[in-house]
Amino acid sequence: MSSETEPTAPPTFAEYLDGYLPDDEALLTARTRADELGCPTVVPSVGCTLRFLTAALSARAVVEIGTGTGVSGLYLLHGMTKDGVLTSIDIEPEFHRAARATFADAGFGGSKTRLIMGRAVDVMPRLTSGGYDLVFVDAAKAEYPHYYEQGVELLRPGGVIAFNGILANGGLSDPARRDQDTLSLREVARSVASDDRLMPAMLPVAGGLLAAARLA
């Protein structure tokens, strides 16, 4: 029997991207909370893209649809300006409790976050039109068309709206897929592409991130 060890398979492209900038302790703890609550989270490659976007925008005001346990919120906060405030909306009170603990663990006090419990489609119309640098959407896919319509109204000129999981595991390009989530994602992809207020790009990270900047 050979004593030689089997060669280790190189990481896949997705694994390489997710390992390029490893999570810190606060993010790892937030992911553990998410696992315990059965709450999906953004993978590191998507999180780093969000952090990059907020830093590039010098974002001071960000809206997040889908708080979860605060994983994506941490990435957003790390890229925002020191005086920035993250407004995060989620309907689940247990997620808000977990997110507050996550933000506190990372040293972000209550003045840096505004957590709003409720349905985003009800909350978003109450927010300041044109008052936000970034709107990040990562919630119920069937409601993405509503988030698109309301989210664009919240953006300042030059602001960005981003939709997570837009590629739907290949569903957008598969005409046989007719489930409600896929139909809603197709509607958003078409609407963003044809909206003359926006400059869009489809970013192939993880499940796909559709980002669009609001033109001046």
pLDDT tens for residues 113-144? 999 999 999 999 999 999 999 999 999 999 99
pLDDT of res. 13? 81
Nearest to 115 by CA among 129, 133, 98: 98
Q: What is the pLDDT confidence band of residue 215, given thresholds at 50, 70 and 90? A: very high
Model confidence pLDDT, tens digit, residues 51-100: 999 999 999 999 999 999 999 999 999 999 999 999 999 999 999 999 99
> How is the beta sheet containing 198-203 ordered, strand by strand?
113-117, 85-90, 61-65, 132-137, 155-164, 209-214, 198-203
Q: What is the pLDDT of residue 120?
A: 96
Q: What is the pLDDT of residue 191?
A: 97
Alpha-carbon gap, residue 184 to 112, rounded angstroms: 32
44 touches 21 (CB < 8 A)? yes
Q: Are 158 and 134 in contact (CB under 8 A)?
A: no
Amino acid at the residue 204: P
| Mean pLDDT for the stretch of residues 38-44 | 94
Report the C-alpha gap between 34 and 16 in whole angstroms: 23
pLDDT for position 216: 86
Residue 5: which pLDDT band, with cuts at 50, 70 and 90?
low
Q: What is the predicted pLDDT for the residue at 8?
A: 79
Instruction: Taking residues 190-204, report their average pLDDT.
Output: 96
Name the average pLDDT for the chain.
Answer: 93
Exposure letters 175-212 (e unless 16+ CB within 10 A, then b): eebeeebbebbbebbebbeeeeebebebbebbebbbbb
Residue with tokens 């959407």: 137
Express as a percent the part of the chain with pLDDT over 90: 80
Distance of CA 168 to CAs 46, 51, 142, Å? Answer: 15, 22, 12
pLDDT digits (tens, 9 = 90+) for 148-192: 999 999 999 999 999 999 997 777 778 888 889 999 999 999 999
